[in-house]
Amino acid sequence: MALTQDHPLLGRSEVELEQWATAQGLPAFRGRQLHGWLYERGVRDWRDITVMPVPLRESPPAPLGRSRVVHRSLARDGTLKLLLELADGLTIETVGIPTQDRLTVCVSSQVGCPMGCRFCATGKGGLQRSLAVHEIVDQVLSVREAMERRPSHVVFMGMGEPLLNIAAVLGAVDCLGRDLGMAHRQITLSTVGVPSTLPQLAEQALARLGRCQFTLAVSLHAPDQGLREQLIPSARSYPYEQLLDDCRHYVAITGRRVSFEYILLGELNDHPAQALALADRVSGFQSHVNLIPYNPIAEEAFRRPTPTRVERFAATLRSRGVAVSVRASRGIDGDAACGQLRRRLLAPGPEIDPETDRGQLPSRATS
Ligand code: SAH
Ligand code: SF4
């Protein structure tokens, strides 16, 4: 896609930045300098790029494309949730999840989400718009800066449905690999399933990236179509069998496995019989099921499953030969569930817990 001269610079390759500089009447090396300042140094403001001529710093022809960190919430386990303000004033969440040997950034792909899943805080507010490449890459840079550590993994499991924004999501994957040196295998796209988009994702990834090495995670959340439709209204237009057929086709085209996600809702979809039904569904896939104990959200009365029920569900799947992991609850005291921080802060009179919340950050000028 051809970018206009005043389009934000973040997200562009070194060659594209050289071309941009040349089109501005600048020497090409200015583009290379910009590349280093954007990706290596993570500069936020043109005025800080001290190697650039002063007139350019004072009236830049294009914004850098950085968002503004307007709030952060730090959980006791070190999980950091950032609220970022985009150029048009809308806000998104991004989360940094540290362990000893990795730092995972959970990025948003849209402002809000139109899919309306009942257990999801993001789904409650509908969709405002999709994010552009620079707005996705910025989230990774913002977490790197805030945590003073290089992210090793990126998961598209924040706000939004990545398969409704395929071009920008693949553009961001491309940039993360090319400009930040991340391995595509360390990147995971999570989708609840949008009819006809899985073949598009595979084809566009192969056309644009020349390979398709990122991991695809498909959110199932129920063992049958009836319950799935209750939890995920959009599933009414996507029969279970069709979704699984599309997954098989995706595996055939890309040579990559898919993994499946399953939120466990206490007494609703966590019965051993449902684990057996799920095992039947995913048999034949060389796949992995990631169980996610539900994080309660204010709007719904679903229950968090007890640890015993989680373990029994996992054991039942394992007894049928399914590879299973249980997602540890990270940052539960920092509004862990997707979309919660943003909804809490958008609501009038947010209650902030001073122990877990660093509160409003001082306002910083951005380009
Ligand atoms: N739209 C995509 C990716 C974003 S949601 C998808 O749905 O897959 C990322 C993950 O967070 C999904 O697996 C989703 O089911 C999960 N999630 C959303 N709300 C949650 C909650 N309240 N508790 C636990 N997991 C939740
Ligand atoms: Fe959207 Fe995913 Fe939330 Fe469903 S779970 S509303 S698809 S972000």
Q: What is the CATH number of the domain that holds 325?
A: 3.20.20.70
Instruction: Tell me: do 35 and 150 sit in the same domain.
Output: no
Domain with 320 in it: 68-346
Q: Is the CB of 109 under 6 A from ligand 1?
A: no
Q: Are 288 and 324 in contact (CB under 8 A)?
A: yes
For ligand 2, atom 6, name the residue with the nearest CA: 123
Residue type at position 296: P
Q: Is the CB of 120 under 6 A from ligand 1?
A: yes
Please indicate, yes or no, if residue 77 is contained in any of the structural domains.
Answer: yes
Per-residue pLDDT, 362: 29
Q: Is the CB of 193 under 6 A from ligand 2?
A: no
Hunting for tokens 């015993």 — which residue is that?
308
Rounded CA gap, 167 and 346, in Å?
29
CA of 261 to the centre of ligand 1 (A): 9
CA of 100 to the centre of ligand 1 (A): 24
Instruction: Tell me: do 46 and 181 sit in the same domain.
Output: no
Please indicate, yes or no, if residue 365 is contained in any of the structural domains.
Answer: no
Residue 106 β-bridge partners: 95, 155
Per-residue pLDDT, 287: 80
The angle at the Cα of 201, spanning 215 to 97, to the nearest 5 degrees, equals 35
Measured CA distances, 75 to 68, 193, 335 (Å): 21, 31, 9
Per-residue pLDDT, 5: 81
Per-residue pLDDT, 343: 55
Hey, what are 65's tokens?
């494309």
Please indicate, yes or no, if residue 26 is contained in any of the structural domains.
Answer: yes
Instruction: Tell me: do 20 and 156 sit in the same domain.
Output: no
Instruction: Tell me: do 125 and 196 sit in the same domain.
Output: yes
Ligand with minimal distance to 220 CA: 1
Cβ atoms within 10 Å, residue 47: 14
Per-residue pLDDT, 360: 32
Rounded CA gap, 166 and 250, in Å?
15
Instruction: Tell me: do 281 and 171 sit in the same domain.
Output: yes
Rounded CA gap, 76 and 51, in Å?
40
Non-local (6+) Cβ contacts of 357 within 8 A are 72, 73, 74, 334
Instruction: Tell me: do 161 and 114 sit in the same domain.
Output: yes
Instruction: Tell me: do 204 and 336 sit in the same domain.
Output: yes
Measured CA distances, 362 to 70, 142, 210, 237, 358 (Å): 8, 15, 43, 46, 11
Which candidate in 14, 261, 338, 355 is catalytic? 338
Instruction: Tell me: do 37 and 87 sit in the same domain.
Output: no
Q: Are β-strands 288-293 and 323-326 bridged in parallel, bridged antiparallel, or unpaired?
A: parallel
Q: Among 264, 110, 302, 270, which residue's Cα sits nearest to residue 190?
A: 110
Per-residue pLDDT, 97: 94
Instruction: Tell me: do 61 and 73 sit in the same domain.
Output: no
Q: Is 338 a catalytic residue?
A: yes
Reduce the DSSP state of residue 114 to 3 states and report it.
coil
Mean pLDDT, each 10-residue run in order, the chain (367 residues): 86 98 97 98 98 96 98 93 97 96 97 96 95 98 98 97 98 98 97 97 94 94 98 98 96 93 98 98 90 92 96 97 88 53 50 34 30
